[in-house]
Structures are given as structure tokens and as C-alpha cells.
């Protein structure tokens, strides 16, 4: 009986170490994500920044165009819209995402404005993120 208990304790201690190691790794991942997606206040946003909010379990992305305005693909209406940061965030924390940039800030904003009012119904992926990546990096949309 005692030998069986000893094996159980060895397994239990091994499991606790593994769990502790995993928790340390997760803390490191969260720290890395926090560095990548830093929440900043509105005056710190730069023109053509890639902004993101998490609402209702999904991410919403847009391009900052200055004067407290953002252009994004509105998932609910299905149109590309220009709106206020407050309406975009709906109380959620806004984060700056560092995504690839192939164009100047003025060209990125021009590309976004050229799509306002457009409706894109293709696929079931995150259309708002794809829109921002198209505007900043030239990917297809």
C-alpha cells in the first residue's frame, strides 16, 4: 500500500511542477502580448494607426484618421464606415496593433476613404482586420 502511495505522490508532484511551468509560460505570453498591444490615450494615436478593440468575444479593427475619427469595416452593418473612436470602442479599451505598413500614412488614409460605403460580403473571416491589413499593407480585400 505504501509503495502505491509513493508513486501517487511522485505523479502529483510532477503534475504540480508541469502546471507551474505552464502558468509561468502563460504569464510570459500575456506580458509579450501587452507589449505588442499597448493601450494608449487618444492624443498618442498617429494617423493611419491600426487600432483594435475586443467586444463580445471578437476583435474589431480600424484605421485612425485623426480628429477622434476611425475608418473600419462595421461587422453589423456590413459596410465600411467612418465613425468616432467612442462609437467604435463602445466602452472597450482601444489598443494599437503593430501590423505591416507598405504605404505612407496619407496613402493609407486615402485607401481607407476610397472604401467608405462599400459592402463586402465575402467569406466568414474577420473582415475588419483584413480591411486594415489591405489599407496598410496592400493585401487583397
> How many helices, marked H, and strands, marked E, lie in the chain?
4, 5
In the structure grid, which three cell numbers stand for residue 32, read together? 509579450
Do the Cβ atoms of 134 and 111 come closer than 8 Å? yes
pLDDT in tens, 54-105: 988 889 999 999 999 999 998 888 899 999 999 999 999 999 998 889 999 9
Grid coordinates of 115:
472604401
pLDDT tens per residue across span 39-57: 555 558 999 999 999 988 8
Per-residue pLDDT at 123: 53
Using CA atoms, how far residue 115 sits from 92, 96, 126, in Å, is 25, 22, 17
Tell me if 96 sits within 8 A of 61, measured CB to CB: no
- pTM across the whole model: 0.67
**Which residue from 139, 96, 133, 131 is spatially nearest to 114, judged by alpha carbons?**
131
Cβ-proximal residues to 50 (8 Å cutoff; 6+ apart), any chain = 61, 62, 63, 96, 97, 98, 99, 132, 136
Predicted pLDDT at 20: 59
Amino acid at each position: 500500500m505504501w509503495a502505491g502511495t509513493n508513486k501517487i505522490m511522485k505523479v502529483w508532484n510532477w503534475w504540480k511542477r508541469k502546471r507551474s511551468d505552464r502558468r509561468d509560460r502563460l504569464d510570459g505570453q500575456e506580458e509579450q502580448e501587452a507589449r505588442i498591444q499597448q493601450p494608449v490615450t487618444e492624443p498618442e494615436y498617429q494617423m493611419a494607426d491600426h487600432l483594435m478593440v475586443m467586444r463580445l468575444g471578437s476583435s474589431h479593427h480600424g484605421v485612425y484618421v485623426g480628429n477622434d475619427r476611425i475608418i473600419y469595416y462595421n461587422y453589423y452593418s456590413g459596410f465600411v464606415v467612418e465613425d468616432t473612436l467612442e462609437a467604435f470602442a463602445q466602452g472597450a479599451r482601444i489598443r494599437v496593433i503593430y501590423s505591416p505598413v507598405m504605404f505612407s500614412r496619407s496613402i493609407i488614409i486615402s485607401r481607407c476613404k476610397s472604401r467608405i460605403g462599400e459592402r463586402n460580403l465575402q467569406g466568414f473571416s474577420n473582415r475588419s482586420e483584413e480591411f486594415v491589413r489591405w489599407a496598410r499593407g496592400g493585401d487583397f480585400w
